[in-house]
Amino acid sequence: MAITTEQVKELRDQTGVSVMQCKKALEEAEGDMEKALLILKKKSTEIAAKKSDRVAEAGFVAKAEMTGKGVLVVLRCETDFVAKNADFVAIAESLAKTALESGKESAESASAELISTGIQKLGENIQLGEIVEMSAPVVGSYVHDGRMGVVVGLEGGTEALAKDIAMHVAAMNPEYTNRTDVPEDSVAKVRAMFEEEVSASDKPADIKEKMLAGKIDTFFKERTLLDQSFIKNPDMSVAKALEAGKAKLVGFSRVATA
């Protein structure tokens, strides 16, 4: 039977795939719209399987928030071109909304069909990356250029302060929250690294020990969130900024597309 332009348009509006793919599916389904939808769904799954071994090095970070909860979702693809595509971004944002409203497992379940359809439409391998959830009395998040995202939870303070801390984490990428989080073997490795440098000094042993302690302290201060200088006010540490905002850090998570 002849397939009309109106039928092709209706199927394309429902699926977003190309005109040619819609026409072929309708021809195979002999004009039956429901059958054509099933054909396209089956083909999208087959296409996804074929592309699954291709490296997804680009992507987009989506965020979603409500009072007391924030979510970050990383959706990966092959190129920056697709990462900026409105349809690709919409998939990531849809999954973030699902994770926020229904939880991580619901978003993971919903991702399979959305991703298969996205692969068929966009022609690249698409993979679900990290899904991060943060629950706290006060939550703030920040996404930089769609490539990196941070979510922060606080007790006390404001959402604006939580977002400022998230921006700080995005910029400074701390490895630890505070010094007590640093493993002993990491401290030992850093100590050994600086011992060789300090040993070359002609200072007395007690001065050398103070020099060594100072170098170790500076090294970890630059990598520990609460000890870092706050980017919005370098005259105070992040710990002091939280104290000034009458807030306590619950936790933070940082994700990136690559």
What is the pLDDT, as a whole number, of residue 26?
A: 76
C-alpha 147: how far from chain center: 7
- 57 vs 62: CA distance, rounded Å: 16
Cα distances (angstroms) measured from residue 86 to each of 89, 93, 94: 5, 10, 12
Specify the pLDDT at position 43: 66
Report the pLDDT value the prediction gives residue 48, as an integer from 0 to 100: 57
Domain layout of the chain by residue ranges: 5-51, 52-135, 183-223
State residue 66's pLDDT score. 96
What is the structure's pLDDT at 49? Answer: 59
Residue 244 pLDDT: 97
Among 179, 144, 165, which residue's Cα sits nearest to residue 250? 165
CB neighbours of 24 closer than 8 A, spacing ≥ 6?
Answer: none
**In percent, how much of the chain has pLDDT > 70?**
93
25: pLDDT strictly greater than 60: yes
* pLDDT at residue 62 greater than cutoff 60: yes
CA 252 → CA 30, 196, 201, 210, distances in Å? 54, 35, 40, 33
For the segment 95-109, the average pLDDT, to the nearest whole number, is: 97
% of the chain residues with pLDDT over 90: 57
Question: Is the pLDDT assigned to residue 216 strictly greater than 70?
Answer: yes
pLDDT 10s digits, 136-175: 999 999 999 999 999 999 999 999 999 999 999 999 999 9
258 vs 162, higher pLDDT: 162
List the alpha helices (DSSP H) in the chain.
Answer: 5-15, 19-28, 33-51, 80-83, 86-102, 104-122, 159-172, 184-199, 205-221, 238-244
Measure the CA–CA gap between 220 and 73, rounded to whole angstroms.
Answer: 29
- CATH 3.90.850.10 correct for 52-135: no
Taking a C-beta distance cutoff of 8 angstroms, is the pair 120, 21 a contact?
A: yes
Distances (CA, A) of 130 to 37, 54, 62, 148: 30, 18, 11, 12
More confident residue, 194 or 22: 194
Query: What's the confidence (pLDDT) of residue 23?
Result: 79
Q: Residue 248 is encoded by which pair of tokens?
A: 């306590």
Q: What is the mean pLDDT of residues 87-104?
A: 97
Average the pLDDT over each of 1-5, 98-102, 112-116, 119-123 and give the range with the smallest value. Answer: 1-5
Whether the Cβ atoms of residue 144 and residue 170 lie closer than 8 Å to each other: yes
- Which CATH number does the domain 5-51 belong to among 3.10.150.10, 1.10.1280.10, 3.40.50.1820, 1.10.8.10? 1.10.8.10
Name the residue with higher pLDDT: 209 or 104.
Answer: 104
**β-strand 229-230 against 148-156: which pairing, if any?**
unpaired
Q: What is the pLDDT of residue 19?
A: 75
pLDDT higher than threshold 60 for residue 184:
yes
More confident residue, 216 or 167: 167
Residue 105 pLDDT exceeds 80: yes
Given a cut of 80, whether residue 29 has pLDDT beyond it is no
pLDDT at 222 over 60: yes
Cβ atoms of 137 and 68 within 8 Å: the answer is yes
Give the integer Cα–Cα distance in Å for 106 and 194.
49
Q: What is the DSSP code (8-state) at residue 182?
A: S
The 8-class DSSP code of residue 137 comes to S
| Mean of all residue pLDDT scores within the chain | 88
Residues 238, 165: Cα–Cα separation, whole Å? 8
* pLDDT computed for residue 210 by the predictor: 86
HSE, side-chain direction, 13 A CA sphere, residue 141: 28
